[in-house]
């Protein structure tokens, strides 16, 4: 990779800050990093070192010589930010990476025609280095940019490429929203435990550790999640009694979750359009 590669991250919200933290913690990429963030809070400023140029706005950039620009802004202001970049970049071609939910590549192509553009979908676990990020690039993305993008997103977890951009709506509903489903299940376990009279000092910690232990088992095992579930479900035991309700003949729980995810997919498509 060329040592002179320069990277600009626009936006230091949760995802942008997680990316920046991952990139500067290992220092394994030869990138000159700059950031644009008008409202850097205490968390974000922890990541802004003397080696990183920090701009409060795009129009502060006098010499727009960046090779890669990562958009980590709110989707609602994408048009405004694209116009600002066009005004300062003076038609310099760069590679664009977007982590905006519900924003298709064609949205950026209206402003940056014939530019290499990669759309990504990480999730909230990026802050812990445990994200799974979907990647999709337009026809101008070459192999070198693919490799660099993989290196960047490997700093916040794992990644995979998809062949159809429309699949991002499904990925958004499964992976982007996924942590909330697991949080909700854990929340339900806490509430039910209290309702049943369990006297534990920190019930949330109790159920969080159940979730963590289950996640660790899934990641460390080469067995499928179905096999792992079956291993816990002893014949005529307590877990089987629970699944007599959860996995009944009408598959009520499964169908309810499926309906919820379909609704999330529908909303993702609405936002994309």
Domain boundary among 163, 186, 201: 163
- Pairwise CA distance, residues 59 & 100, whole Å: 21
Query: Residue 237: how many CB atoms within 10 A of its CB?
Result: 11
Clarify whether residues 23 and 109 are in a common domain: yes
Query: Could you give the strand order of the β-sheet that contains 6-10, starting from the edge strand earlier in sequence?
Result: 53-55, 32-36, 6-10, 68-71, 95-98, 117-121, 131-137, 157-161
Among candidates 35, 33, 32, 77, which has minimal Cα distance to 58?
35
Whether 169 is in a domain gets the answer no
Helix axis angle, 203-220 to 225-232, nearest 10°: 120
| Structure tokens that stand for 158 in this block | 């794992």
Rounded-to-integer distance, Cα 15 and Cα 126, Å: 7
List the domain range (segments joined by +) for residue 252.
176-272
Q: What is the domain count for the chain? A: 2
Q: Split the chain (273 residues) into runs of 10 and give each run's mean pLDDT.
A: 78 89 75 87 56 90 95 94 95 94 94 97 92 97 96 94 96 95 97 94 95 96 96 95 91 95 94 81
Inter-residue contact 75 to 242 (CB < 8 Å): no
Same domain as 148, residue 35 = yes
Regarding whether 229 and 98 lie in a shared domain, the answer is no
Residue 1 lies in a domain: no
Together in a domain, 145 and 92? yes
CA distance 127 to 169: 22
User: Which two three-digit tokens encode residue 161?
Assistant: 């490429």
Measure the CA angle with vertex 28, ends 105 and 131; round to 5°: 50
Which tens digit of pLDDT belongs to each residue from 58-89? 999 999 999 999 999 999 999 999 999 999 99
Q: Are 119 and 194 within one domain? A: no
- 128 with 25, same domain: the answer is yes
Q: State pLDDT tens for residues 178-217.
A: 999 999 999 999 999 999 999 888 999 999 999 999 999 9
Claim to verify: residue 96 and residue 186 sit in the same structural domain: no
Contact call for residues 100 and 146 (beta carbons, < 8 A): no
Q: What is the DSSP string of 216-271?
A: HHHHH-SS-HHHHHHHH--TTSHHHHHHHHHT-TT-HHHHHHHHHHHHHHHHHHHH
Is 218 found in the same domain as 143?
no
What backbone torsions phi and psi does residue 67 show, to the nearest 5 degrees? -90, -30
State the DSSP H helix or E strand holding residue 8, giving kind and residue range, or none if neither: strand 6-10
């Amino acid at each position: 990779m060329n040592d002179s590669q320069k990277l600009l991250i626009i936006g230091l919200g949760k995802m942008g800050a997680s990316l920046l933290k991952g990139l500067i913690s290992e220092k394994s990429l030869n990138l000159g990093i700059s950031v644009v963030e008008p409202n850097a809070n205490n968390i974000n400023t922890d990541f802004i070192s003397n080696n990183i140029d920090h701009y409060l706005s795009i129009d502060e950039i006098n010499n727009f010589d960046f090779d890669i620009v990562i958009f980590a802004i709110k989707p609602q202001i994408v048009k405004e930010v694209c116009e600002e970049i066009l005004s300062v970049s003076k038609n310099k071609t760069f590679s664009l990476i977007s982590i905006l939910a519900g924003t298709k590549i064609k949205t950026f192509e209206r402003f940056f025609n014939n530019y290499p553009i990669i759309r990504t979908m990480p999730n909230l676990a990026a802050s812990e280095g445990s994200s799974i990020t979907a990647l999709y690039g337009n026809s101008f993305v070459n192999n070198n940019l693919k490799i660099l993008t993989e290196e960047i997103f490997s700093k916040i977890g794992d990644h995979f490429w998809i062949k159809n951009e429309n699949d991002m709506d499904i990925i958004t509903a499964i992976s982007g929203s996924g942590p909330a489903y697991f949080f909700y299940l854990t929340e339900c376990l806490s509430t039910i435990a209290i309702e049943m009279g369990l006297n534990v000092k920190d019930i949330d910690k109790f159920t969080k550790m159940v979730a963590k232990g289950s996640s660790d088992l899934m990641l460390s095992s080469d067995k499928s999640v179905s096999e792992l579930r079956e291993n816990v479900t002893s014949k005529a035991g307590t877990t089987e009694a629970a699944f007599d309700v959860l996995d009944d003949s009408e598959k009520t729980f499964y169908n309810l979750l499926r309906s919820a995810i379909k609704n999330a997919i529908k909303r993702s498509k609405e936002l994309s359009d």
